[in-house]
A and B are shown apart, each in its own frame.
Chain A
C-alpha cells in the first residue's frame, strides 16, 4: 500500500465520518425507499455516523439508488450522478437495483444499475432491512481510501 501524506490522511478521516447521502428512488415498488427512510429516522439515526440526508446532489458524497431503472428515469439518474462532485460513491439498494428483480421482463426496464453507472456497494434484499443498509453504508465509507 502506498504511503499517504498528512493532508490526505486527514481528509480521508473527515470523509469517513461525514457521509452526506442523496437518495433516489427509481421505478421500484417503494419498499426499499421506505427502508432507506427508516435509516434516516431517529430509530436507526444515520446522523450518529455524521451522515445527513441532502436533497441536493451537488453537496452529497453518496448516491443511494433503490428500485429498478426504467427508460424514463435512466437519463435523470445519470444526470444526478454527474452532478455530484468527486470523489463519490454509489450504493445499490435491493434486488431490483442489483439485478432487475421481479421486473426483469418489463418492457420499460433497462438493465441493472451497474450497467448504467459504476456501483461501489450492493445491498441485497427485497427489501433489505435498515440494519443491512446501514452496514452497506459503513462498508462504503471504507472505500474512500481507494478513491
Chain B
C-alpha cells in the first residue's frame, strides 16, 4: 500500500516547517508600519474604574494611541459565541484579574510597555467571587449586570444557566436499589498552555479590514467582526495561520475586536502578541464540583445515576455554558442506566473567562461518575472491569434515549485495554491498577464546504477552512485527495486560513474535521471523479455507466487508465482544470436537549498501573494504556499521536496542574515557573496507545473523530490505581505528591 493513501502514515504535511521553525505563526508575520500593542490591566480582579489618565503614557516617544472605552462606539459593543456579554474593553468595571482597561499602540514593544505602565488608572477594588460556594451565596455580589439578560429568572443570581437532562425516575430507582454510593468530587481550574501564545493583528484593508489571528474558527471570527464593525462579510478578511496548539482555547473571538478598532483609529496595522502570563488570564477550562449518587443492584447492574455538577465559569460566558450543557449531558457514561438525573449549572465568577478545552466539559463529570463506579464495585465486591462490562451499552443500543445509539463495539475497546494493562495479573507490592471508560458526544451540528481543483498536470489544490493546529488535518485532507484523485502527496497543496479564498467552515472543534470537512473534501473529489467519467465517456465513446473512477484511476470496461491519461486529452489544448465542490451538513434537531444528536461518540478506555511512594506521595505511572474506538485510522501514526497527546495532557490536571488564586482573585502561579505541566520526564514509564477499527464511523472510509477521547478518563483511572495501591480514595484533583501524602497520613492517623 502506498503510504500517502488512506491508511498510511506519510510524513506530516507542513511538518518540516513546524519542527524547524520556518512555519509562519501570526507573531512571525511582519507587516510594514505595524504598531505594537500592550494591554493595561489592574492588580486585582474586580474594580470600579474611576478615571483613566493617559497623558503621561501619550508622551512616551513612539506612542500612537492609548485606547480606552471612551474611544469606542457607545454603548461599547459586546460580543460572545453564546451571549453577547463581553465588552471590547472593560467598561466601568473590571471583572477578572487581567481584563484590559486600556491598550497602548506604539512603534515598538518597549515603548508600548513603558507607556502601559504610565497609564494612571484610579480605581476602587470591589468585593468579588472566586469560588463556587461564594458565587452561589445569595449575599455575594453579582458578576454579570442583570440587564444583560433581562427577563431571565436567574438574572439575579450568579447562575448563568441551569441544565436538566435525564430519563426514568431516579427516586423510584433509588427506593429499590441494593446499594447507593454518594460522593463529591472536585476538578481543578487549569489552562490550555498552547505553546504559541494567542496573537492578534488587524490592518485597514481598502474599504474593509483584515484580521490575523491564531484562531480555530476563522469564519466565526469573521462574523463577529462584521457585526461589530457593521461591515459586510466580504469586507472582513480573516487570515488564520496554522495555530501552534489550540486545545479549545483558541476557538472564539477574544481581543480581535480591540485590535480592529485600534487599527481603524490609527490607520495602521496593529498587533498584540500575548505573553504566556497573559494567556493564563485569557483562557482556562471550567473547574467543577460534582456530586454523584449512583444506585446499583447487588449484581452490579446500574439502577440510576444522579449527578449534580456545578461548573465555575469566568466573568464572561464565552462558550463555557455550552461546555457545561454538552459536557454534562452524557454524564451517565456509556452504560445502560434505567434512570438518570443530571442537573448542571454554569456559575459565573470574577475569574479568567473559561472556554472550550479538549474534552469539552466531559472530563469533569467523568472523573466523578467513573470514580463512583469503582466505589460501587468495591462495595459489592465485583471486579472493577467486570462491573463496567456488565453495564456497557452494546452496539446499536439507545443508551441515551433520543440520541445516537452506541456507534461502536465498545467491549472490544475495553477488553483490549484490560489485556494491555494485564488486568487481573499479580501486582508488585506498592502498586495498583485503575481502569476507566470515557465517552464524549461528537459535534451536534456542522457545516463544512470544500473546494478541490484538479489542475491540468494532475496536481491538486484542496481548500478547507479547518485550522491545522497540530492535529494534522492538512495531512489527512491531502491523503483523501491522494486516494481519490491519484496524485502523490507532494503534488497536493492544502490551502487553509484565509476567508477571502477558502470556502466556509463552521469551526474546528469537537474532533470534527476528519469527519465533517473530510466528507466535504471526499464529496468534492467525487464531483471531480464524475466529471472525469464524463470526459472518459466522451474520449472513448463509452457510456458513463460503464466507467468507474476510484483509487486514483479511471476504469474502462477493458482497461484501467491513470487519471492523468483522461484529464490531459479531456481538457484539450487550452488546458484548464476540473473543480469540485463538496458540502457536509449536519442539521440542528429542534427539540433535542443539545440542539442536535451526536455525529459520533468518542469512546476511550484508559488503564494504568501506578506505584505510590508512601513516604513522599509520589505517584509513578508504570504503565499507561489508552485505547480508542476510531472507526478507521486514516493515518495511524497521527491517530496514535493524538491519542498519546490527549493522554499526556490529561496527566496534567490529574497529577499537577491547577491555578492558585489569592484572596483578591489574582492568579498567584501566573506563568510557567509555578504552574507545572508534564514534561517528557513526567511521562509514564511505559505508554501504550491502541485503536479499535471497525469502519463504523460517519466520516470518510468509516472514520470517527478521536482527538479528545484519551483525555476523558485519565483522572479516574489514575486515582483508582492510587486507591488500589494504597487503599486511599482521593476525590480532589490534582493528585499532587503533597495531596497524596496527606491522604495517606490521614489514613494512618487513628
**A and B physically associate:** no
B residues whose Cβ falls under 8 Å from a Cβ of A: none
